[in-house]
Chains A and B, each alone.
Chain A
Amino acid sequence: MIQSDNVLDAKGLACPMPIVKTRKMMKDMEDGQVLEVQSTDSGTTADLQAWTESVGHQYVGHVKEADVWRHFVRKSGQEDQSQKEYPVTVDNSQLMDRLQQPDAVLLDVREEAEYAFAHIPGALSIPLGQLEERMAYWDKDKKFYVVCRTGNRSDMACQKLVANGFESVTNVIPGMSEWNGETENTVGGINQ
């Protein structure tokens, strides 16, 4: 099951309606939220990808079940534009070495849908919005590495972790957008 914050049923609709409706629904959603668009029109894939790129949203990926495409689109948010402030970072290329340490934990703070389509093997899926609730259960002595798509959401997550008393916290820069190592996919779909 791929998580989303909202579902748009655009089944049976022909172009341009799937995009027109997606656009309308996205306007009412909060930054960073994920919309699932269900469509039966084969042209929707290319158009959604082109549209999201044109307006700055993120096309996360799609799966096809029978005749229905399930597209996942994430609304671009402020966290995508904010400056990175957290000082302790590691470059993508050195991450795998660091994860060899016995106490290393890799947190992926993107939305679950983003994680589902491609993530680094062994990463835990902790969407940014769930971080505070989940961190209460964690051992503060472990070495935390935090990754997201471009390093911004993970920057915020790092700051939160440190503020809550975690001592070894490192942001992975730039993150999944330029990750060319191994990934796992838990949905069998096609990711961007």
Chain B
Amino acid sequence: MRIIQSSEVAKSVITKESLFILDVRNTDAFEDWKIEGERVRHLNVPYFDLLDGIEEIEDQLPKDEEILVVCAKEGSSIMVAEILEEAGFSVGYLSGGMKAWSEYLEPVKIADLKSGGELYQFVRLGKGCLSYMVMSGGEAAIIDATRMTNVFTDFAEQRGVKITNVFDTHLHADHISGGRQIAKTTGATYWLPPKDAEEVVFEYAALEGDMSIQIGDTRIDIQALYSPGHTIGSTSFIVDDSYLMTGDILFIDSIGRPDLAGLAEDWVGDLRESLYSRYKELSKDLTVLPAHFMIIDELNEDGSVSEKLGVLYEQNHGLNIEDEKEFRELVTGNLPPQPNAYQEIRETNMGKIQPDEETQREMEIGPNRCAVR
């Protein structure tokens, strides 16, 4: 029996390899959230239905390919994998289960920057979150870090760069930010848009529109662009005159939802203004780097999630709704369910509550649901 790490599953998903998953969580958990990929096939049978053996599902399992058994934390998948191995199947289990998958970040290089330095995207495949690291002249900036902070600090250390600035484009409602923690351990400055930070209980640097922050001595501008709509404080960044980090305002195949702070009706106008006016004035050649992806189809060949702004203006449905009323209906009418525990996540990101790590994990379970399509 093979112990399979999340990094290996991530490679299979990105390179579109064939993968057969026997997911032994209960059906509700599976239907809510699972490992997705273009050539990933699933069979969901709860582990407790397999305690008497696997005879009933035996003919639904492939005999000529490895079966990846997945559960919530790994215990049940080991039990089922053992039964399968005894029955002669080639089998492995996902180390750490869906918990580990949800926390795995795949670093993908986006580009060498014109001014020297590099830009990396951290793809959280299990949750759809995207974080960024800009490195230049021995310094690093992190944008929209997830709570797995050592992934970022280790990455910076390996490359010998010092994290000097940490940003959140907005107050997140779908995942717990690692920004403040990273700033604390590295001595970096933690930036938040003040309009999203009215209730936070910690010190932060105010991220305002039309300001530039330099990373390293090769001068990479991070230009903040105030772009309300998903939250009232939502801010976008332009890095190195080439990359537009849109936070949760604009995604590749969808647009942000304005309701997660309970003010959908108030913010829909701001969202439209940001998408249909402010972004439209920007260069079409900017590469859009969002803070999320929703579906696995949004991944490029190398696992990155990015697209030219000009292409999005042609192809993203959310950018092509002429009628303002229709737009309003799209973003306030057919909203998907709100992310799991989004109120508690907001309060955690404001510093109002300090749940332990296990509780933080549970709060983040499930898909992110930050977009409307």
Residues of A within 8 A of B (CB): 14-17, 19-20, 23, 42-43, 46-47, 50-51, 54
A16/B47 contact (C-beta < 8 A), A42-B362, A43-B73 known:
yes
Which chain A residues border B57 with CB–CB below 8 Å?
none
Q: How far is the CB of B97 from chain A (nearest CB, A)?
A: 9
Residues of B within 8 A of A (CB): 26-29, 46-49, 51, 71-73, 75-76, 79, 358, 362
A50/B28 contact (C-beta < 8 A), A16-B48, A19-B48, A42-B362 known:
yes
A16, B79: Cβ atoms closer than 8 Å: yes
A23, B75: Cβ atoms closer than 8 Å: no
Please count the residue pairs between chain A and chain B whose beta carbons lie under 8 angstroms apart in the complex: 43
Which chain B residues border A23 with CB–CB below 8 Å?
48, 51
A16, B76: Cβ atoms closer than 8 Å: yes
Bound CA span A108–B27, Å: 33
Query: By DSSP majority rule, is chain A's interface helix, strand, loop, or mixed?
Result: helix
A46/B76 contact (C-beta < 8 A), A15-B71, A23-B48 known:
no
Return 15 A-B CB contacts under 8 Å, by A number: A15-B75, A15-B76, A16-B48, A16-B71, A19-B48, A20-B51, A42-B358, A42-B362, A43-B72, A47-B26, A47-B48, A50-B26, A51-B26, A51-B48, A54-B48
Q: How far is the CB of A41 from chain B (nearest CB, A)?
A: 9
Which chain B residues border A54 with CB–CB below 8 Å?
46, 48-49
Bound CA span A50–B79, Å: 18
Contact partner of A17 among B49, B71, B75, B362, CB < 8 A?
B75
Bound CA span A43–B51, Å: 18
By Cβ-Cβ distance, the 4 closest A-B pairs, closest first, are A50-B26, A16-B76, A51-B48, A14-B75
Which chain B residues border A17 with CB–CB below 8 Å?
75
Which chain B residues border A15 with CB–CB below 8 Å?
47, 71-73, 75-76
Which chain B residues border A51 with CB–CB below 8 Å?
26, 46, 48
A46, B48: Cβ atoms closer than 8 Å: no
Other A-B contacts than A16-B48, A46-B29, 11 sampled, CB-CB below 8 A, are A15-B47, A15-B72, A15-B76, A16-B75, A16-B79, A19-B47, A23-B48, A23-B51, A42-B358, A43-B73, A50-B46
Q: How far is the CB of B223 from chain A (nearest CB, A)?
A: 44
Which chain A residues border B79 with CB–CB below 8 Å?
16, 20
Bound CA span A46–B68, Å: 23
Which chain A residues border B76 with CB–CB below 8 Å?
15-16
Bound CA span A19–B27, Å: 16
A46, B26: Cβ atoms closer than 8 Å: yes
Bound CA span A46–B49, Å: 14
Bound CA span A143–B278, Å: 75
Which chain A residues border B75 with CB–CB below 8 Å?
14-17
Residue among A14, A15, A23 with max Cβ neighbours from chain B (10 Å): A15
Bound CA span A192–B66, Å: 39
Bound CA span A156–B71, Å: 43
A51: nearest residue on chain B (CB-CB)?
B48
